[in-house]
Amino acid sequence: MTQFNMKRFGTLLKCHLLEERRNLLRMFLGFTLGLLFLHIFFTEVNGYAADEAAYLEKVEQAVTISLVVIMFGMLGCASAIFQNIRDKRPRTTFFMLPASTVEKFLVRFVWSTVVAFVIWMAAFVVADVLRMLASLLIGHEGMTSGIAMLFDFSDLSGLSEGIGYLALFVIANGLFNHAVYTLGGTIFRRQPFIVTTLLLLVLLTLVVWAWHSPSILGDVQLITLNDNIVTVHPLYYAIVAILLVLAAVCYWLAWRCFSRMPLITNKWLNV
């Protein structure tokens, strides 16, 4: 009656990844081509870089845009968490596998987050290497690596305290978005990414309206930076906490929906 068995989970993960390897390869090739197109567009097509400094700037632009694409791509992968069981036949196979619903949910969660992240990163590296090879062929001097820039971006140690607060906010927001897209991918049977995005836009509009409405919140500054002194509004902590709690609730709801998901569902919803 064990709900989670590590050995069984490992067997299920291995089985799932090996059976899905063709899809994983397809994803990797698609992501690589997409990112390579972006890199080439920003470094070679979108204006000519007269010198290496200008070229470096263009690579920076390409890396920044790639990061945005990867971020949205991760949300897309979160909403595709149950893409494998969209139809009745694969759904029967997946549901009938002798593993608990927790293990099955976690396997798909690992697929839509960890595996997707690894694929995105591998695609970024390959696209960057291909871009560097292309730049050598075109005649740029020196090798300007976007991968090194990616590490520079993630190094926050030299930045001010205010950036730390901002980073925490971004992480909480990112987690919340990921959880919402995971829930959307579990509940919506068709076009989960688009439907979830539309719902989030509605929610965002309401939040922005509330934010700027004097009778509700007014224009609250969450983080203020004056002469290197950071002032954090108490609402900042409340919002970060709410986002984290909401993220946890969305993940839990996604699992709950999955554990009760029937084989034959509504046309649009997995209920």
Partner 1 sequence: MIQVNDITFRYAGQKDYVFDGFSLTLEQNNIYGLLGKNGTGKSTLLYLISGLLRPLRGNVIVDGIDARKRNADMLSELFLVPEEFSLPPISLDEYVRLNSPFYPHFSREILEACLTDFELQPSLRLDALSMGQQKKAFMSFAMAAGTRLLLMDEPTNGLDIPSKSQFRKVVAEYMSKERTLIISTHQVHDVEMLLDHVLMLTPKQLLLDKSAEELTSRYVFEFRTSSDLQPSALDPQPSALNPQPSSLNPQPSALDPQPSSLSPQPSLDVIYAEPSLQGMAVIAERQEGAAETQLNLELLFNAVTKGLIK
Residue 262 contacts partner 1 per CB under 8 A? yes
Contacts of 77 (CB under 8 A, 6+ apart): 112, 113, 116, 120
Interface mask (CB under 8 A) for partner 1, residues 102-131, using x and -? -x----------------------------
Cα 47 versus chain centre, distance: 30
**Least separation, in Å, of the C-beta of 258 and partner 1?**
10
Distance CA 49, CA 61 (A): 13
Residue 99, interface with partner 1 (CB under 8 A)? yes
Dmax (CA) for the chain in angstroms is: 67
Taking CB under 8 A as the rule, does residue 59 contact partner 1? no
Q: Does 48 bind partner 1 (CB under 8 A)?
A: no
Distance between CA atoms of residues 103 and 3, nearest Å: 8
Pick the stretch among 43-51, 114-122, 157-165, 261-269 that binds partner 1 (CB under 8 A).
261-269
User: Per rule CB under 8 A, is residue 260 in the interface with partner 1?
Assistant: yes
Contact status: 26 vs partner 1 (CB under 8 A): no
186 in contact with partner 1 (CB under 8 A): no
- Asked whether position 95 contacts partner 1 by CB under 8 A, the answer is yes
Shortest approach of partner 1 to residue 269 CB, angstroms? 8
At 23, which helix (H) or strand (E)? Answer: helix 21-40
Question: Would you call 189 helix, strand, or coil by DSSP?
Answer: coil
d(CA 14, CA 266): 31
**Residue in 173, 136, 170 with CA at minimum distance from that of residue 153:** 170
Can you give the binding site for partner 1, defined by CB under 8 A?
1-2, 5, 8, 11-12, 14-15, 18-20, 22, 87-90, 92-93, 95-101, 103, 259-260, 262-267, 271
